[in-house]
């Protein structure tokens, strides 16, 4: 589904194919005990997988920056939450970053809607 989406330039197939592939890869690594998995790490993994799925959609449309904004935003939030879960950064810092920088994502999304190309 993923490769067919790239070949035919269908964003939905690329997004869902990437999402399914990354969830399958996550479950494979988890079942092989490649890394220790807790229940609290599942939510950040979902954010990271969805972020990478949006970034793969951005590869199918190199001229459009629309999928880049949610891709970087979701991947960044997931990475911050994962780093907080494993103790590399403080929990207060993560939520402080999210609280301070979420308006930037909203502004970028609004600019994306204003300047998007019309077909």
> pTM of the entire structure?
0.72
The string of pLDDT tens digits covering residues 14-65 is 888 888 889 898 888 888 877 777 777 888 889 999 999 988 888 887 777 7
Query: Nearest-CA neighbor of 47 among 90, 10, 81, 13?
Result: 81
Domain count, the chain: 1
DSSP 18: H
Tell me the CA distances in angstroms from 39 to 11, 36, 43, 72, 113, one per residue in order.
Answer: 31, 10, 8, 24, 36
* C-beta separation of 68 from 81 below 8 A: no
**Domain coverage including residue 24:** 2-115
Inform me whether the pLDDT recorded for 3 exceeds 70: no
The string of pLDDT tens digits covering residues 25-39 is 888 888 887 777 777
Range with the poorest average pLDDT among 2-11, 50-59, 61-70, 109-118: 2-11
């Amino acid at each position: 589904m993923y490769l067919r989406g790239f070949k035919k330039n269908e964003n939905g197939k690329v997004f869902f194919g990437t999402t399914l592939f990354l969830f399958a890869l996550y479950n494979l690594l988890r079942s092989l005990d490649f890394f220790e998995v807790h229940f609290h790490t599942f939510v950040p993994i979902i954010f990271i997988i969805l972020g990478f799925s949006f970034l793969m959609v951005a590869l199918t449309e190199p001229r459009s920056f629309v999928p880049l904004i949610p891709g970087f935003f979701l991947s960044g939030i997931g990475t911050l939450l994962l780093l907080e879960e494993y103790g590399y950064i403080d929990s207060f810092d993560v939520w402080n970053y999210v609280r301070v920088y979420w308006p930037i994502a909203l502004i970028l999304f609004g600019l994306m809607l204003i300047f998007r190309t019309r077909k």
